[in-house]
């Protein structure tokens, strides 16, 4: 199920969300600005795809225990559209993320995620990189 979700994200197959997620899907990511539920999640994904049209996720690790699946991912893409108020930079970025997904009765119901957003924004050039120990 999680592999199918990642494939849908990589191919912009948003219809798969209807099959995989409950309508009142809960995203516990503290930085999310989307509307609640599956439709808000879909809108957020479409917005991200518009900003990074070639973004692709690669699954690095996946662990399942009980009703939860933990997946560690690496994603990369080129910033070609506005993203969170940031004009396109045409820079290629790579980010790592860990998602914890809860599944009930064969449907995704909740998500907790953690991204390397600092590194992501540093690569876009909107936050300076630290140069500790360098002159």
Q: Going from the N-terminus, what domains does the chain have, and what CATH number goes with each? A: 2-124 (3.10.450.50)
Pair of tokens at residue 15: 């219809």
Instruction: Say if residue 131's pLDDT is above 70.
Output: no
Q: How confident is the model at residue 119 (pLDDT cuts 50, 70, 90)?
A: very high
pLDDT of amino acid 39:
93
Which residue is listed with tokens 């360098």? 134
Q: How confident is the model at residue 14 (pLDDT cuts 50, 70, 90)?
A: very high
Instruction: Tell me the pLDDT of the chain averaged across its residues.
Output: 92
Residue 38, Cβ neighbours under 10 Å: how many? 20
pLDDT of amino acid 31:
62
Residue 46, Cβ neighbours under 10 Å: how many? 12
Q: CA torsion angle for 98, 102, 103, 109 (degrees, to 10)?
A: -110
Give the pTM: 0.87
Pairing of strands 68-78, 56-65: antiparallel
Q: Are 31 and 57 in contact (CB under 8 A)?
A: no
pLDDT of amino acid 34:
67
């Amino acid at each position: 199920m999680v592999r199918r979700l990642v494939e849908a994200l990589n191919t912009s197959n948003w219809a798969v969300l209807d099959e995989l997620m409950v309508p009142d899907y809960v995203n516990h990511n503290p930085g999310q600005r989307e509307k609640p539920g599956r439709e808000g999640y879909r809108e957020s994904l479409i917005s991200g795809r518009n900003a990074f049209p070639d973004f692709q996720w690669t699954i690095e690790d996946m662990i399942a225990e009980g009703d939860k699946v933990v997946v560690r991912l690496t994603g990369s893409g080129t910033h070609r559209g506005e993203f969170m108020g940031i004009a396109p930079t045409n820079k290629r970025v790579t980010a790592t993320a860990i998602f914890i997904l809860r599944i009930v009765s064969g449907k995704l119901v909740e998500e907790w995620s953690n991204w390397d957003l600092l590194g992501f924004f540093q690569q876009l050039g909107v936050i300076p990189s630290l140069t500790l120990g360098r002159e």
